[in-house]
Amino acid sequence: MNNELLDKVESKTKVSKDTIVDLANKIEASGLKDEKVLRDVINTLSTITNKEVPKERADKIIDIIMNDGVPNNIDKMF
């Protein structure tokens, strides 16, 4: 993963690069098609950022991810 992108995400979220990389590796290992892993990642991010993610929003995020609705180039999102 691009260090510059990680630095931007870390500065905006206050989440360490190591945590980001660990989460990315967990997601990569699941191929983005394991609902349990995705829920775990969402819950972890929710805890790390101290932001509640309602079940309905988590369901929507998972639906988008599992149905290939995520852009291929996440660099453009920041």
Give per-residue pLDDT as tens, 42-60: 998 899 888 899 999 999 9
Average pLDDT, the chain: 84
- Domain of 36, in residue numbers: 3-77
DSSP string, the chain: --HHHHHHHHHHH---HHHHHHHHHHHHHHTT--HHHHHHHHHHHHHHHT----HHHHHHHHHHHHTT-S-S-GGGG-
Domain count, the chain: 1
In this predicted structure, the answer to whether residue 39 has a pLDDT above a threshold of 90 is yes
What's the rounded Cα separation, in Å, for the pair 65 and 32? 7
Plot region of 32 (φ>0 → left; ψ -120 to 50 → alpha; else → beta): left
